[in-house]
Amino acid sequence: MRISAFEALSSRSFRQLWLGSGSVAFARRIELTALTWLVLQLTNSAQQVAWIAGARMLPMIVLGFAAGALADRYPKHRIIITTRVVVLLASVTMLVLLLAGRAQPWLILAYTLVTGTAGTIEMCTLRSYIAAVVPSSAMPNAMTLQSVTFEASGLLGPLLAGILIPQGYHIVFASIVAMHALGLLFMLSVEQRPAPSSAIAEEGVVKQIVDAARVVRANRVIWSALLVVTTLNFFGFSYQPVISVIARDVLKVGPGLYGLLESMVGLGSLMTGLVVASSRVVSRRRLFYLGATLVFVTMFFFALSTSYQVSLLLFFVSGIGAAAFSTMQFTIVMEAAPPEMSGRVVGAEMLAIGAMPLGIFLMGRLAESWGPQTALAVLTACGLVIMGTLQWRYPELLDRPTPKNQPV
């Protein structure tokens, strides 16, 4: 059965949320490509690049459940506006530092921690806000459109960064500031939703977190999905600090072709996301699991590649897997979660995504000791072994029957 790829856009509130989050996503992808290349130029260290890439995701570990509890407890509209104001001010500060020639690695690290913290809180809040503004029948389409926008930013963001970097990092950050300002303006135009019920608001934060943790652990669908998310983020998506090093030292390319390489993931993801958005996906968990596995396979072979052209193809195929995974990851857990716990369950997923900075730090450390290609090959091979174990332990990941009396 075919459905409209833009079904969820019939909601004006969702349209404004979608456009605003898209602008922010583009800014963040440009920023990540530019800052990792800048730090590599300043330090010539894969470990330093790992710190910058990981610092952006580190708040997910610390704030995962807590950010979700905030989203369930306080007005979501106000939370998102606050986070976007913080990020906009931080981006303006970084632009001033670049213009003054004072952007040192430790200042870039501080900047990524601030924007990463705001981004973690916003992501938890935004996902649960979307569930409140679209009908339940349109929620899978809404989540897929969010993912498609993110993947489009993964295509165009690195490409634009590669074009702008030779013009100067201040030019890069001027565009980032403009995109964050646009994201804030779209959010200000979104109609405010009713505040959370007084019963939820009066509950203690600790109790809210504990109750959500129990629900997550007792639900095999949510729990198995979070294990896959954790595995892919720690062993697979942690490749960021070695890509710039491999591009420069192994593939022998500059920032323009490095940006093109990273954008191939976005191209594969965007094309796949549009197909998923315009289709009625019957087996969401199977698509989710196989997509994650495909990312591991392609990144393993990228670790063995010395050809730029082959690497472009591998990144494109990796994007296909990443889109299959990412378009389903939030939909699966949101559909299985009680509505009153939507923010906290998204927070649990953010906690699982927070495995990425730990993997990034490990990747950077191993790259310094073993070389970037060996480090990437070892971690992706470990990830493939774990993925095989998970589909055996949780057959429902491939829509197989769960054995009777099988513990969670």
pLDDT at position 353: 83
Does the reported pTM lie above 0.85?
no
- Asked whether residue 312 is domain-assigned, the answer is yes
- Asked whether residue 3 is domain-assigned, the answer is no
- Tell me the one-letter amino acid at 360: I
- Asked whether residue 353 is domain-assigned, the answer is yes
The answer for 405, left when phi > 0, alpha when psi is -120 to 50, beta otherwise, is left
Domain membership of residue 262 as a residue range: 9-191+200-398
Total number of domains constituting the chain: 1
Helix (H) or strand (E) holding 151: helix 139-164
pLDDT at position 1: 38
Q: Tell me the CATH number at 306.
A: 1.20.1250.20
Which is nearest to 190 in space by CA: 7, 28, 18, 345?
18
Contact status, residue 71 vs residue 346, Cβ threshold 8 Å: yes
pLDDT at position 198: 47
- Asked whether residue 136 is domain-assigned, the answer is yes
Token representation of residue 256: 């323009």
Token representation of residue 51: 């710190």
- Asked whether residue 2 is domain-assigned, the answer is no
- pLDDT tens by residue, the chain, 408 residues: 344 556 778 888 888 989 999 999 999 989 988 998 899 889 988 778 888 877 887 887 777 667 777 777 778 889 999 999 999 999 999 999 999 999 899 999 999 999 999 988 888 788 778 877 887 777 777 877 887 787 778 778 888 888 899 999 999 999 999 999 999 999 998 876 655 554 455 556 667 677 777 888 888 888 999 999 999 999 998 887 788 889 999 999 988 898 889 888 888 888 887 787 777 666 788 999 999 999 999 999 999 999 999 999 999 999 999 988 987 887 788 777 777 776 777 778 878 887 888 898 899 889 989 999 999 999 999 999 999 999 999 998 887 766 555 655
The 8-class DSSP code of residue 190 comes to: S
pLDDT at position 407: 56
Which is nearest to 331 in space by CA: 197, 193, 153, 134?
134
- Asked whether residue 405 is domain-assigned, the answer is no
- Asked whether residue 29 is domain-assigned, the answer is yes
- Residue 329's beta-bridge partner residues? none
For residue 279, give the 3-state DSSP assignment: strand
- Residues 396, 315: Cα–Cα separation, whole Å: 29
- Residue 177's beta-bridge partner residues? none
Q: Which residues of 4-38 are buried (b: 16+ CB within 10 A; e: fewer)?
A: ebebbbebebbbbbbbbbbbbbbbbbbbbbbbbbb
Contacts of 277 (CB under 8 A, 6+ apart): 5, 6, 141, 144, 145, 148, 327
Q: How far apart are the first and last CA of the chain?
A: 34
The phi, psi pair for 61, rounded to 5°, reads -70, -45
- Asked whether residue 336 is domain-assigned, the answer is yes
pLDDT at position 195: 55
Which is nearest to 80 in space by CA: 206, 185, 8, 174?
185
pLDDT at position 335: 78
